[in-house]
Amino acid sequence: MISVFWAVGVVLIVTIFLCLYRVLRGPGVFNKAIAVNLIGTKTIVLLVIIGYIYQRPIFLDIALVYAMVNFGASIAIAKYLKRGTLA
CB neighbour class for 16 (10 Å; exposed up to 12, middle 13-18, buried from 19): middle
Q: What is the pLDDT of residue 60?
A: 94
Per residue in 31-86, pLDDT (tens digit) is 999 999 999 999 999 999 999 999 999 999 999 999 999 999 999 998 988 888 77
Phi, psi at residue 26, to the nearest 5°? -65, 150
Q: What is the pLDDT of residue 81?
A: 87
Q: What is the pLDDT of residue 24?
A: 94
Q: Is 1's pLDDT higher than 90? A: no
- Which letter, b or e, does each residue of 21-38 get, where b requires 16 or more Cβ atoms within 10 Å of its Cβ? ebeeebeeeeebbbbbbb
Per residue in 8-39, pLDDT (tens digit) is 999 999 999 999 999 999 898 889 999 999 99
Phi, psi at residue 56, to the nearest 5°? -120, 100
Q: What is the pLDDT of residue 52?
A: 93
